[in-house]
Amino acid sequence: MSAARRSLLTTTAAASVLAALWFVPSANATADRHEERQRVEQASAHSETRLAETGSAQTTPYLVGGLLFLGAGAGFVAYSARRAQLS
């Protein structure tokens, strides 16, 4: 693969990532301060541990996705190292 095609591929991948990030919603909260304070007080009054405000502790999809991306990255590194040795 020529250097020009490789840089074009890198540029296209970077542009795709930036375009995808453009559509990620922001995390701006618009709750009233008084309501927010009441919720925090109510949450601290409960003895159970909760994750954020949702009460959901379902982290399995994040762990599976993270492991898949980690495996793909390790595969790319191994492939690149092998190609470098063959050259």
Question: Quick one: pLDDT band at residue 87, thresholds 50, 70, 90?
Answer: confident
* Tens of pLDDT, residues 18-62: 888 888 776 665 556 666 667 666 666 555 555 555 656 678 888
Residue labelled with tokens 């063959």: 86
* Tens of pLDDT, residues 5-20: 788 888 999 999 988 8
Question: How many CA atoms are closer than 13 Å to the CA of 26, on its beta-carbon side?
Answer: 3
The span from the CA of 15 to the CA of 21, in Å, is: 10
Instruction: Please check whether residue 44 is in contact with residue 50, taking contact to mean a CB–CB distance below 8 angstroms.
Output: no
Q: Give Cβ neighbours of residue 50 (< 8 Å, ≥ 6 apart).
A: 43, 57
Q: Which of 68, 61, 65, 42 is nearest to 53 (CA)?
A: 42
